[in-house]
Amino acid sequence: MQSTNSSAALSAWVVHKFGGTSVRDADCFRKVADIIESQDSPRQAVVLSAAKGVTDVLLSLVDMAARQDKGVVAQLAALRERHRVMAEALLDAEGAARWLARFDADCTDVSGVLHTTSLLRSDAQNVRDLVAGYGELWSTTLFAAYLETRRGSGQRLRWLDARQVVVVEWGALGPAVQWEQSRQNLAGTGAAGFDGTLVIPGFVARDPKGVQTTLGRNGSDFSASIF
- Tell me the residue ranges of DSSP E strands in the chain: 2-3, 13-18, 44-48, 157-159, 168-171, 174-177, 197-201, 204-206, 212-214
What pLDDT, on a 0 to 100 scale, did the predictor assign at position 40?
A: 86
The pLDDT assigned to 104 comes to 97
pLDDT for res 6: 43
| pTM of the predicted protein model | 0.91
Mean predicted lDDT score pLDDT of the chain:
92
pLDDT at 34 over 60: yes
The predicted structure's pLDDT at residue 151: 81
Q: What is the per-residue pLDDT across 212-221, written as a single tens digit (0 to 9) for each?
A: 999 987 788 9
Instruction: Please enumerate in sequence order all residues whose Cβ is within 8 A of that of 170, keeping only pairs 6 or more positions apart, or say none.
Output: 176, 207, 213
Select from 114, 134, 136 the least CA-distant residue to 123: 114
Please write the tens of the pLDDT for every residue from 47-100: 999 999 999 999 999 999 999 999 999 999 999 999 999 999 999 999 999 999
